[in-house]
Structure 1
């Protein structure tokens, strides 16, 4: 019964978002109204770029920009699912401010996810099945640790995929999203350890260069390997 209630709460929150009830610091509207967004919607009409099959899972074909966009869509699905779950039932020790910020981050991630889904159209992979069994959602420490892992990985993923994007419009769009993900990462990092929001030393394993002031960057294969523990759906990668 609890799971059913949680699903209902999540549906209500997502419906509220789609009806326009965004958080105070919302970033992208569901319609994705921009020149790059319009171009992406039109391009998304092409078929067979990415798909889900019950037996084969989801396929990411990196032969062109559509593969990169579906890759981003997969990661945004994961992040959105995590934040929807946290926002619907935050740890009891979360402060009012923390609850509000996690609500806002939730809306950002839903916006990112729905933008890619709407823009890719029939080229989009299907919905991924997630596995958050390793996260204790009643524990603030567990939730914050998972949030930090997701945000740091998300930043590294966008940075690492940038070199694969051929369209300048798509590259600008990715830059706008990764900057928001970095804001999330800085906020979460500061909640865990006050004053550590700009720390890059702990991100060297993800490709960060503290001396050079450069953030993390990982190739898709490494990102998907790290994210794999949270995704039940099989991810097939070709032409990487």
Structure 2
């Protein structure tokens, strides 16, 4: 219950920020394009926001599929917790859409053919991949924003994503939920992984049935 309470409170916090933002920007255009072959994320802070939006779209779509067709071997309470994770990722996705307004990228379909959604082990392994990758992406993108206001908002989501990653690892290996999360060889360093946008897109390329262009994003 404590875990579920955390999920609900954290989600409500970000949701409140989204509502505030909604009053500051015009309603976003929300086109859907299932025939995309190339997606250019753009430049500057707008490009970085679309980059994070893409990752949140990916996570939200994944958890939605899990909730819609959950594995039959989930343990007690896990579907409810994964539903809360889905709700968080939807809030994150809509947060970025509201922030970007008409500059937001279209809604995209993803390729989840490598994931066995009937298997708890497969679903949790994929969730670990998405959550760890998301945390590394936020770590790598943070220093690239020029707007301190945007950085402060993005940081609120980054901390929630880190808790998601720890929670999923706790489900997989309760005795060592931090195993493999931190950098270092054979010892805990206390530092999270940092990945650049090109590295993140390359790591997630199998889930994108199209080419993601990140060449316009800042690198320093």
- Tell me how far 1:120 sits from its aligned partner: 1.0
CA distance in 2, matches of 1:224, 1:57: 13
Gaps of 5+ in 2: 1-6
Q: What are the residue-to-residue correspondences of 1:1-240 with 2, within 5 Å? A: 24-25=8-9, 27=11, 28-29=14-15, 32-34=18-20, 37=21, 41-42=24-25, 54=35, 57-62=38-43, 64-199=44-179, 201-204=180-183, 211-240=188-217
SS in 2 for 1:77: helix
CA distance in 2, matches of 1:180, 1:43: 26
- RMSD of aligned C-alpha atoms? 2.9
- Tell me how far 1:208 sits from its aligned partner: 9.9
SS in 1 for 2:41: strand
CA distance in 2, matches of 1:184, 1:194: 14
CA distance in 2, matches of 1:168, 1:119: 14
Gaps of 5+ in 1: 1-22
What is the total number of aligned residue pairs between the two structures?
Answer: 207
Q: Does the CA contact (< 8 Å) of 1:80 and 1:109 recur in 2? A: yes
CA distance in 2, matches of 1:92, 1:117: 34
Where relative contact order (Cα < 8 A, 6+ residues apart) is larger, the structure is 2
- TM-score, L = length of structure 2: 0.83
Q: Does the CA contact (< 8 Å) of 2:182 and 2:191 recur in 1? A: no
Q: Does the CA contact (< 8 Å) of 1:154 and 1:181 recur in 2? A: yes
CA distance in 2, matches of 1:60, 1:91: 34
> Closer, same or farther in 2 for the Cα pair 1:152/1:235, shift >3 Å?
same
- Tell me how far 1:54 sits from its aligned partner: 4.9
Q: Which moved more, 1:155-164 or 1:118-127?
A: 118-127
- Tell me how far 1:123 sits from its aligned partner: 0.4
CA distance in 1, matches of 2:175, 2:15: 31
> Closer, same or farther in 2 for the Cα pair 1:192/1:211, shift >3 Å?
closer
> Closer, same or farther in 2 for the Cα pair 1:82/1:159, shift >3 Å?
same
Q: Does the CA contact (< 8 Å) of 1:208 and 1:215 recur in 2? A: no
- TM-score, L = length of structure 1: 0.77
